[in-house]
Structure 1
Amino acid sequence: MDVERTGVVEPSGVRSSGVRSSGMQSVDRVAAVLLSFTGADAELGVTDIAERLVLPKSAVHRVLEALTAWGLVAKEHERGKYRLGPRATELSLAALGSVDVRALALPVMEELRDLTGETVTLSFVLGSHRVYVAQVESRQDVRMTIEVGRRAPLYAGASGRAILMTFSTAELERYLSQTVLTPLTERTVHDDRQLRDLLDVDRARGYTESLGERDPYAAAVAAPITARNNPRAFACFSVCGPTARLGDEVRRSCGPAVVDAARKVSEMLRGSW
């Protein structure tokens, strides 16, 4: 039997030194490369992954090309970086159970879109990030659209903070100790104390607002979605649109509607899960 010593760094960070078959080694490499994207970095290059896993760049590149072909990762051609693809999102949704949350949420999203006139998105938590899993686009000529499967950090923008606002004190402190609040725009909140203060305001009113924090031309209002008796959100709704249209008063008027939509889905899930 063909055997070879693997140099893949396991998820625990311990380098495996056992003798494994070439077939098993290939599976190890694919799994290790895929799991690399569950860390803090949303986008990784071949060199980044090769150094982390102690693998040849050629081997990493072959794995990434195969994962790209299956839609489990996607390549950002301008920067040469890779990120999780839409099929990886399908796996995360399947892991949540038999309930199709997107199908359950769609009628509520359409109702919220018709009420606000803006695009409505559904995001799920994925590690230290969130990922867009569905959207219902605004019918207006100028509107916001998102790419399903794209990840974003929790600290930047209304959707991410809608999830962070449900963290316990210990969970939030652990998140902050492990996360660098890198500014995405001039308006991104990147100070720990300022973020904590903002989350206190968010919790008091039940929803979050953002204006140009993740995208300089986008504004949003978001609310958390929970299931069962777990107070920590696994998902959120957002209403998003151009900053020129979603001013302070409009965002405040959208807040209760987004909260109500998130509550409806949360209640439906509690009866299903």
Structure 2
Amino acid sequence: MKKDNEEKRAMVRTAERSLDILLSFLEAKELSLTEIAKHVSLHKSTVYRLVQTLENKGFLIKSMETEKYRLGYKCLELAANMEGKNDPAVLFLPEMQSLRDNIGETVSLYIIDGYERLRIQSVESQLPIRRVAPIGARMPLSVGASSKVLVAYSNQHEQEMIFQHLKTKEQIDLVQYKKQLTKVKTNGYATSFEEREPGTSALSVPIQNRSGEILAALTISGPINRLTYRRIKEILPILQESQKRLNRLILL
């Protein structure tokens, strides 16, 4: 019995390590064996065995030129089988493209994932100077228009969990932060000016389901010299029209 339990724990540990290796590619398109080992905090020999298995199964591909690994086609096959009918990243894309074409700035869609916000879709501006918004990027919930919308429209239990995390993990004035969230809830939108990145500003609104629960934050972002306070006031009604259409789409 003891041996069986040890074998089960070893199998679970191997599975967790393999998943950690795959998740390391959220931060880079290509990684060397050394870089993977550093990311998952494992010895290179252990990582090599796991990487070999993932490569044999088609989840990783090794470049002949760079000797680095990247995600394999098996990941694409799995993604192709995801249910896209009710996936906001798929469902909202046409409206996001239309909004981008109308306003000219980058449009992104964010959700809360743990104690971070995750960009699940983006349509980048076609202007020469633009806000680059890679899908899969993770950002803190402490700053940014999208973060404020996501937290402001979360339920009380989720908010308390987030507040406790911010209090212990990040240097943040919770009193001021909560005042900002109250303002966001009152106004129905959030703005940010160089809160997370110098030279950028953003405008964000909530997308909610039929029960009024927050699904995502729909956000416009761009260079602060173009996306000024005055410009944000001008495009707010346009963003809110998109918000209404997406909310109705969720209700269908």
- In structure 2, the CA distance between the partners of 1:63 and 1:216, relative to structure 1 (3 Å rule), is farther
Higher helix share: 2
- Structure having the higher Rg: 2
- In structure 2, the CA distance between the partners of 1:142 and 1:33, relative to structure 1 (3 Å rule), is closer
Question: Unaligned 5+ residue runs, structure 1?
Answer: 7-16, 38-43, 72-86, 184-189
> Does the Cα contact within 8 Å between 2:115 and 2:165 map onto a contact in 1?
no
The letter of the residue matching 2:193 is L
Match of 1:199 among 177, 181, 184: 181
State the distance in 2 between where 1:64 and 1:127 align.
27
1:30 has 2:12 as partner: no
- In structure 2, the CA distance between the partners of 1:198 and 1:64, relative to structure 1 (3 Å rule), is farther
Aligned length: 224
State the distance in 2 between where 1:215 and 1:61 align.
37
Question: Match for residue 134 of structure 2?
Answer: 147
Alignment of 1:1-273 (within 5 A): 18-20=6-8, 25-31=13-19, 50=41, 58-59=45-46, 63=50, 70=59, 94=82, 98-179=85-166, 180=168, 182=170, 190-229=172-211, 231-271=212-252
Deviation at 1:139, TM superposition (A): 2.5
State the distance in 1 between where 2:215 and 2:251 align.
13
Question: Unaligned 5+ residue runs, structure 2?
Answer: 26-34, 61-74
Deviation at 1:114, TM superposition (A): 2.6
Deviation at 1:64, TM superposition (A): 7.3
RMSD: 3.8
- The alignment's TM-score, normalised by the length of structure 1, stands at 0.67
- The alignment's TM-score, normalised by the length of structure 2, stands at 0.72
Q: For 2:136, what is the secondary structure of its paired residue?
A: coil
The letter of the residue matching 1:157 is G
State the distance in 2 between where 1:155 and 1:266 align.
26
Per-residue Cα deviation, 1:95-129 (whole angstroms, up to 9, x for no partner): 8x742423321221122213322111112222221
State the distance in 2 between where 1:215 and 1:161 align.
15
Deviation at 1:270, TM superposition (A): 2.2
- In structure 2, the CA distance between the partners of 1:240 and 1:21, relative to structure 1 (3 Å rule), is closer
> Does the Cα contact within 8 Å between 1:236 and 1:262 map onto a contact in 2?
no
% identity of equivalent residues: 26
The letter of the residue matching 1:20 is K
Deviation at 1:27, TM superposition (A): 2.4
Q: For 1:174, what is the secondary structure of its paired residue?
A: helix
State the distance in 2 between where 1:219 and 1:205 align.
18
Q: For 1:20, what is the secondary structure of its paired residue?
A: helix
State the distance in 2 between where 1:62 and 1:232 align.
44
